[in-house]
Chain A
């Protein structure tokens, strides 16, 4: 079955440590996205990527970094510079929107990160 896989589902981090969240998709989608979800704030965009080796900052990129070395993979690193990293992180993908105008975003099951 095609889909988006996020791992791990739960992640605990000590303060001051970097941690990397995995996101893999086998939908052959060009675009990939990372969102952060906090109670009452909806989904806020961290980073997005339209093609391999290219990505753009979203609304809350500070303290995060990404890479897009392969079409299928878009890992997110939460660095020690992120002061409040405890949240639910969602990865999404969509078909190349420049070629197809009417597409939605498909989501993974999320990773819950807790700083201990």
Chain B
């Protein structure tokens, strides 16, 4: 079965602390994985995709096929990082639909 799991509903950290948002997936094929973010009163938008192997706003995510994980990390959290974060798996043979995790709310306190 195709599934994405984000075990934490809420993650609260202080400014400057490291952040790791966990994501595990279940998929028999070659995964296309994404992190989407929704800031308050804004629409859902792409943060990063595993194929790019880039850092966006200081965030990185590495695909670990052995552990079927795609955790999102940032070494020093900022208050403006507070948002809902969704891990998503793209299923290529069904119109590229996205299977979303439940989301993790990140709260960065001053």
Partners in one complex: no
Write the residues of chain A forming the contact surface with B, with a CB cutoff of 8 angstroms.
Answer: none
List the interface of chain B (C-beta within 8 A of A): none
